[in-house]
Chain A
Amino acid sequence: MTGASRGIGAAIARALAADGWPVGVGYRSARERAEEVVAAVERDGGRAVALAGDVAADGVAERLLEELEERFDRPVLALINNAGINRDELAPALDDARWREVIETDLNAAFRLTRRALRGMLRARAGRIVNISSVVALRANAGQANYAAAKAGLIAMTKTVAVEVARRGITVNAVAPGWIETEMTAGVSSELLAAIPARRVGTPADVAAAVRFLVSDEAGYITGAVLSVDGGLAA
Chain B
Amino acid sequence: MATVTTEQVQARVIEALASFGPDESQITPEATFEQLDIDSLDLVELAQIVEDEYGVVLKGEDMKELETVGDAVQLIVSRASA
Residues on A lying within 8 angstroms of B by beta carbon are: 119, 122-123, 164-165, 167-168
Contacts and interface: CB of A to CB of B under 8 A. Distances in A.
Given A119-B48, A122-B48, A123-B45, 8 more contacts: A122-B41, A122-B44, A122-B45, A123-B48, A164-B41, A165-B41, A167-B41, A168-B41
Contacts of B48: 119, 122-123
Contacts of B45: 122-123
A44 to B, nearest CB: 36
Contacts of B44: 122
A168 B48 CA distance: 16
A172 B80 CA distance: 35
8 contacts: A119-B48, A122-B41, A122-B45, A123-B45, A123-B48, A164-B41, A165-B41, A167-B41
A167 B80 CA distance: 31
Size class of the B contact interface (CB-based, 8 Å):
under 10
B17 to A, nearest CB: 14
A168 B45 CA distance: 11
A123 B42 CA distance: 10
A74 to B, nearest CB: 17
A164 B44 CA distance: 11
A31 B68 CA distance: 51
A100 B42 CA distance: 35
Interface string B38-76: 000100110010000000000000000000000000000
User: Which 10 A/B pairs are nearest by Cβ-Cβ distance?
Assistant: A122-B45, A119-B48, A164-B41, A168-B41, A167-B41, A165-B41, A123-B45, A122-B41, A122-B48, A122-B44
Contacts of A122: 41, 44-45, 48
A167 B38 CA distance: 13
A168 B40 CA distance: 12
A168 B44 CA distance: 13
A207 to B, nearest CB: 31
A123 B49 CA distance: 10
A165 B79 CA distance: 28
Contacts of B41: 122, 164-165, 167-168
Contacts of A119: 48
A165 to B, nearest CB: 7
Contacts of A123: 45, 48
A122 B47 CA distance: 12
A25 B30 CA distance: 48
Nearest to B19: A123
Contacts of A164: 41
Contacts of A165: 41
A164 B45 CA distance: 13
Interface in B18-51: 41, 44-45, 48
Nearest to B44: A122
